[in-house]
Amino acid sequence: MSHRNCWAGTALFAILLAGAGHSASAQSAADAKVDLQSACAQNAQSAACVSALLERIQQLEQRLHDVENKQAAAPVAAGAAAPTAVASEPAMADAMPGMGESLGIPKMEIRGFGHVNFSTIDHQSSVIGTSSPNLATSTFTLGNLDLFITSKLSDKFTFLSEVNFESGLNNTIGVDLERLMVTYDHSDAFKLSIGRFHSGIGYYNTAFHHSAWLQTTLGRPRLFEFEDSGGILPVHNVGLSATGLLPSGKWGLHYIAEFGNGQTSHNTIDQTVQNVIDENNGKSTNLAFYLKPQFLSGFQTGFSWYHDQLTPTGLDKLKEDIFAVHAVYVTTNFEFLNEGILLQRHDEVTGTDYHTPAFYTQISRQWGKYRPYFRYQYINAPNHEPVIGDVKLYAGPSAGLRWDASTFLAFKMQYDRISRRAQPATNGLGLQVSFTF
């Protein structure tokens, strides 16, 4: 092809692209196509150029035609201002999808979750359930706005983060980076993540994260409450987490191995999760195994062992071990969750042992859009437990109803009755609207 004809084809092609946003673009494209075909046809070697450029022009014409049809179908309010040049950018994006990928930018996906509560209790006590503040008043409570962000960085690496906007008892709104992980996916047998993650202790902590909409009940069991809400377990960790499937045939034996900073010892610092500085040189470890047999879909059972060293301010060093077991059966319409733990701390100076047993059981059944549920939970911490002695006894039932008003919106109502050591039992009623988008 001659240089003159190549430049002519390129110029006409550029003119066609520049005129794509005008109403007369379709006619200009047709004229440009004829001129381009005539110019290139003068050289016998231009067949490939003509074919490629005409094919591209036809694609752009079709996309322009589709965009103009969408704009013509959109209702325009009376007296509305004329669209500006900026308003045409979405249409241009529709006409050129995948531009980010073509520039080498990974695609980012965002899911959002949120909820709002109303709660009331009969008298002041410690925190009731997981949805009512520590007040003897009726109150609306602004829940969390949770943004779940993922991206595929390559064939083997992925990114995940969970950013949570949450309200506190001081009526302020704070932002927490709940999870931030980069994962290397070698195979089903080995996946390695680094960052901040939910510890693989038991079942609930990794099955349900920070979204109230994903959970049947108003909130998490007290046993798996988050650290900044008075939780007793290190449900977050910063470090390394390896997971995978072991050779086990139809039994589906999985493992979890974690190594990280662990949880603070309730020292005089603001953050209970050690995001930046570990308070000692020791690192926490967690090892878990669970079965998900193929011949019993929905069933899972397993155990975990978490170990760490704690150095509470002004107290002796403590050796911490958390043993957890679970057995759950979850299908589309039925849910039966059972978990128990033994939280054991050993004073390395005096030799004193502190044992805190805890468990919960939860059952629910879906009928159409309605799912009634029941939960019983129990925590019994020694009065003089050096880290969570303020928890003491916490036990009682919860009963409620979830109504899925739509695919993305749910209403819940829940009654709690909680017994505490040396305190009268407390009755609470909570309402919630939760959603995803």
Span 321-370, pLDDT tens digits: 999 999 999 999 999 999 999 999 999 999 999 999 999 999 999 999 99
Domain co-membership, 57 together with 188: no
Question: Of 404 and 424, which is predicted with more confidence?
Answer: 404
**270 burial type by CB count under 10 A (0-12 exposed, 13-18 middle, 19+ buried):** exposed
CA atoms of 85 and 73, how far apart (whole Å): 19
Q: In this predicted model, what pLDDT tens digit does every residue of 167-219 receive, in sequence order?
A: 887 888 999 999 999 999 999 999 999 999 999 999 999 999 899 999 999 99
* Residue 102 domain flag: no
**Torsion sign (Cα): 94, 98, 104, 108:** positive
Residue type, 196: R
According to the model, what pLDDT value does residue 72 have?
56
One-character DSSP codes across 238-257? EEEEEEEE-S-GGG-EEEEE
* Residue 189 domain flag: yes
- CATH code for the domain of 319: 2.40.160.10
Please report which confidence band the pLDDT of residue 40 belongs to, taking 50, 70 and 90 as the band edges: very low
What percent of the chain stands above pLDDT 90? 59
Single residue among 75, 97, 119 that ends a domain in this structure:
97
Residue type, 145: L
According to the model, what pLDDT value does residue 270 have?
57
Q: Residue 273 has what DSSP assignment?
A: B
Domain co-membership, 295 together with 189: yes
According to the model, what pLDDT value does residue 314 have?
79
Q: Cite the DSSP H helix spans in 192-310.
A: 204-207
pLDDT of 306 over the 90 cut: yes
Domain co-membership, 286 together with 205: yes
* Residue 75 domain flag: yes
Domain co-membership, 388 together with 303: yes
Domain co-membership, 153 together with 238: yes
First to last CA, the chain: 54
According to the model, what pLDDT value does residue 277 have?
85
- φ/ψ bin of 44: left (φ > 0), alpha (ψ from -120 to 50), beta (otherwise): alpha
* Residue 421 domain flag: yes
Domain co-membership, 136 together with 174: yes
Please report which confidence band the pLDDT of residue 11 belongs to, taking 50, 70 and 90 as the band edges: very low
Q: Tell me which residue range forms the domain holding 72.
A: 3-97
Domain co-membership, 72 together with 116: no
- Total domains, the chain: 2
Lowest-pLDDT choice from 60-74, 145-159, 227-241, 330-344: 60-74
According to the model, what pLDDT value does residue 348 have?
92
Which residues on adjacent β-strands are paired with residue 318?
310, 347
SS3 state of residue 318: strand
Question: Of 303 and 57, which is predicted with more confidence?
Answer: 303
pLDDT of 23 over the 80 cut: no
Single residue among 97, 119, 150 that ends a domain in this structure:
97
CA atoms of 339 and 335, how far apart (whole Å): 13
| Mean pLDDT value of segment 123-151 | 71
Domain co-membership, 124 together with 153: yes
* Residue 427 domain flag: yes
Mean pLDDT taken over the chain: 82
Question: Of 266 and 144, which is predicted with more confidence?
Answer: 144
Domain co-membership, 174 together with 25: no
Single residue among 97, 130, 147 that ends a domain in this structure:
97
Pull the structure tokens for residue 96. 């050129």
pLDDT of 31 over the 80 cut: no
Domain co-membership, 71 together with 124: no
| Mean pLDDT value of segment 242-261 | 97
Which letter, b or e, does each residue of 242-251 get, where b requires 16 or more Cβ atoms within 10 Å of its Cβ?
bbbeeeeeee
Task: Give the pTM.
Answer: 0.74
Domain co-membership, 86 together with 117: no
* Residue 104 domain flag: no
Q: In this predicted model, what pLDDT tens digit does every residue of 365-401 receive, in sequence order?
A: 999 999 999 999 999 999 999 888 888 999 999 999 9
Please report which confidence band the pLDDT of residue 84 belongs to, taking 50, 70 and 90 as the band edges: very low
Q: In this predicted model, what pLDDT tens digit does every residue of 89-120 receive, in sequence order?
A: 344 334 444 445 556 788 999 999 999 999 99
Pull the structure tokens for residue 407. 């695919």
According to the model, what pLDDT value does residue 264 have?
84
Question: Of 78 and 139, which is predicted with more confidence?
Answer: 139
* Residue 293 domain flag: yes
Domain co-membership, 228 together with 322: yes
Please report which confidence band the pLDDT of residue 15 belongs to, taking 50, 70 and 90 as the band edges: very low
Secondary structure E strands in 261-392: 284-291, 299-310, 318-330, 334-347, 353-365, 370-380
Pull the structure tokens for residue 101. 């990928």
Pull the structure tokens for residue 212. 């109230």
